[in-house]
Amino acid sequence: MTFVLSLICAPDTAELTPALLERVNHGLNAAGARARPLVWLDPERAAEIAFDGDDIAVLEELRRRLVDVPVDANVLRAEGRRKKLLLSDMDATAIIGETLDELSTYTPHKAEIDNLTRQSVNGLMSFTETLVARMALMRGLSEDALAKTWSTVQPTPGMAVAIATMRAHGAYTALVSGGFTYFTSRVRDLIGFHCDIANDLEIVDGKLTGRVPPPIVDPAGKVAALQRLTKERGVALPGTLAIGDGSNDIPMLQQAGLGIAFCGKPKVKQAIPVWLDHAGPTGLLYLQGYKRSEFAGED
């Protein structure tokens, strides 16, 4: 079977220099790979090398050799890399930061809420348990706090280009979050996703009730969203891509044809072999073999 070694630099902070590529070639040789010529996707920033050999041995060898440089090294099957359905997490993936942590600023319980978020994304407590607990601590919060929180939301640099490019090449894109539709609907429009799937906020007389109406979009709910969209769009699972950072994303990432740990928490990176730690969201395009000249939505 033929595989592809993908090499993607951090934007504006590193280059795939001749010296670095020499290290890569030594690593491929050490892992016993039969490599083909390098193909540039973005000169000096993103490249790929097709090879035959042991994919796991190559990945381990290259990550060991490149641990000191801001370069994402990944190994993927050469066949079927371009996907027709993309699902993305919202918090700390499509956008910078966590919306509930920002919202907690307007409560007297910020430290407790932020701690529950950390427990959840690192897989130390169940997602549903922590979500219910966090929202209970926000009971009575004014609806105005939602608008104030929204005003601070910033898209992750490169995400709009990634989504625009996927759409331009015929893919369907969905924002799937364990957060709330108040935010996901706005992020959907801001970044350009086709649709958003998230939880509802219960608001009575302009204040949060602290309850989360079922069904809750938990890890199983994200998998259900993936399965439903594959049927609706007529896309088989191998033709899907999912990206996320937290432990509640793991089942969705494992089910997708290509699951990407985006600046993933340790538990996520243990479960998911494809990582984007440095490259930003446009890395998901390079992983699929897109060249920079094929990107859409850039100024």
Largest CA distance in the chain: 67
Residue 230 burial by CB count (10 A; 0-12/13-18/19+): exposed, middle or buried?
buried
Q: For residue 30, give Cα distances in angstroms to 52, 53, 176, 252.
A: 13, 11, 41, 34
Q: Three-state secondary structure along 29-42?
A: HHCCCEECCCEEEE
CA atoms within 13 A on the CB side of 123: 16
Provide the 3-class DSSP secondary structure of residue 192: coil
Residue 267 burial by CB count (10 A; 0-12/13-18/19+): exposed, middle or buried?
middle
196 is catalytic: no
218 is catalytic: no
**Which residues are within 8 A (CB) of 107 and not within 5 positions of it... i.e. 6 or more apart?**
113, 137, 138, 141
Strands 85-88 and 240-244: parallel
Which one of 72, 89, 218, 249 is the catalytic residue?
89
Q: For residue 116, give Cα distances in angstroms to 111, 126, 137, 215, 221.
A: 9, 10, 11, 21, 20
Edge-first strand order for the sheet with 275-276 is 195-199, 172-180, 85-88, 240-244, 258-262, 275-276
Provide the 3-class DSSP secondary structure of residue 66: coil
Other Cβ atoms within 10 Å of 246 Cβ, number: 25
Which one of 91, 101, 218, 249 is the catalytic residue?
91
Q: Kindly list the catalytic residues.
A: 89, 91
